[in-house]
C-alpha cells in the first residue's frame, strides 16, 4: 500500500491536521527516516532543520544519505532498512540526475511498494510523478537533463509554493490541455496524503485539469 506525503514547504504555519496525519502514519513507534538531499549539504543546514521538525513529530532516528558529492554506496542497505524516506527540496533537475546516476529510483519504488512512508518536499514531491516536466515552471535545467522520467508513483503532477507561483496559472492551464495531465497546486504549509487508493487534501489544494482550475475539498476530506 502506498504511503505518500506531498509537502510544499516546512514552515511555521504548517496545517495542524496534516501534522497529525503524519504523526499517525509514523505510528508512535521507533521510526528511522532516510533523508535524501537534492544536492550535498556539507554543513547539514537543511538536514538539521528537517531533522528537528520531524523529531517534533515523533521520528527517533535519521540517516543522511547523500546521492551527490558525498555518495557512499556502503549505506545503501541501511537506506533500504529505513522505515521511511524524505526527498528534499532544491533544483528538481539536479535532484533527478543524482537519483538516476546512483540508480536510486528502483530502490525508492521498491520501498514504496513495501508500504514504507515516502515524504517529498517541493522538488521531492514533484519527483513522485511520472515525469518532472512541470519543474520547467519553477526550476532551471542547470544539468541539461534529457531523460525526465521520475518515480511514477501517482497519476498527477504537483505544483508547490502556490503562494508565489499563482501568476503562472495561465501557463499551467495551457500545459494541462497540452499534456492531458492533472495538476494539484499546494500552498506552503499545506499538503496531500495518499494511503493506498485514498487521497486526502490538507489546506487549500487546487486542481488544474483540462484547462480549468478547480478548488478541492479541504483538510482531510476524501476525493
- Provide the pLDDT for residue 217: 60
Instruction: Please choose, from the candidates 139, 209, 207, 140, the residue with its C-alpha nearest in 3D space to the C-alpha of residue 179.
Output: 209
Q: Where are the beta strands (DSSP E) in the chain?
A: 3-7, 32-36, 61-64, 84-87, 117-121, 156-159, 182-186, 191-195, 198-202, 205-209, 212-215, 221-222
| Structural domain boundaries in the chain | 3-155+189-202
All three cell numbers of 175: 500545459
- Residues 223, 216: Cα–Cα separation, whole Å: 8
pTM, full prediction = 0.95
pLDDT for 219 equals: 55
All three cell numbers of 122: 517541493
What pLDDT tens digit does each residue of the chain (223 aa) get? Answer: 899 999 999 988 999 999 999 999 999 889 999 999 999 999 999 999 999 999 999 999 999 999 999 999 999 999 999 999 999 999 999 999 999 999 999 999 999 999 999 999 999 999 999 999 999 999 999 999 999 999 999 999 999 999 999 999 999 999 999 988 899 999 999 999 999 999 999 999 999 999 999 987 665 444 4
pLDDT of 28 reads 80
Rounded CA separation 37/24 (Å): 24
pLDDT at residue 221, rounded to an integer: 44
**Which CATH architecture best describes the domain 3-155+189-202?**
3-Layer(aba) Sandwich (3.40)
Amino acid at each position: 500500500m502506498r504511503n505518500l506525503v506531498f509537502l510544499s514547504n516546512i514552515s511555521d504555519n504548517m496545517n495542524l491536521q496534516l501534522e497529525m496525519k503524519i504523526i499517525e502514519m509514523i505510528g508512535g513507534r521507533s521510526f528511522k527516516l532516510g533523508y535524501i538531499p537534492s544536492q550535498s549539504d556539507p554543513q547539514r543546514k537543511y538536514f538539521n532543520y528537517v531533522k528537528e521538525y520531524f523529531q517534533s513529530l515523533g521520528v527517533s532516528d535519521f540517516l543522511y544519505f547523500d546521492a551527490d558529492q558525498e555518495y557512499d554506496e556502503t549505506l545503501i542497505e541501511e537506506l533500504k532498512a529505513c522505515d521511511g524516506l524524505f526527498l528534499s527540496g532544491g533544483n528538481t533537475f539536479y535532484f533527478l540526475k543524482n537519483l538516476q546516476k546512483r540508480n536510486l529510483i528502483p530502490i525508492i519504488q521498491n520501498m514504496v511498494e513495501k508500504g514504507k512512508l515516502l515524504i517529498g518536499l517541493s522538488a521531492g514531491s514533484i519527483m513522485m510523478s511520472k515525469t518532472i516536466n512541470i519543474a520547467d515552471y519553477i526550476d532551471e535545467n542547470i544539468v541539461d537533463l534529457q531523460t525526465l522520467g521520475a518515480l511514477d508513483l501517482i497519476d498527477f503532477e504537483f505544483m508547490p509554493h502556490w503562494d508565489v507561483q499563482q501568476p503562472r496559472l495561465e501557463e499551467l492551464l495551457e500545459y494541462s490541455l497540452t499534456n492531458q495531465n492533472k495538476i494539484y497546486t499546494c500552498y506552503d504549509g499545506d499538503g496531500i496524503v495518499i494511503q493506498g487508493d485514498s487521497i486526502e487534501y490538507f489546506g487549500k489544494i487546487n486542481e488544474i485539469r483540462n484547462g480549468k482550475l478547480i478548488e478541492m475539498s479541504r483538510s482531510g476530506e476524501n476525493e
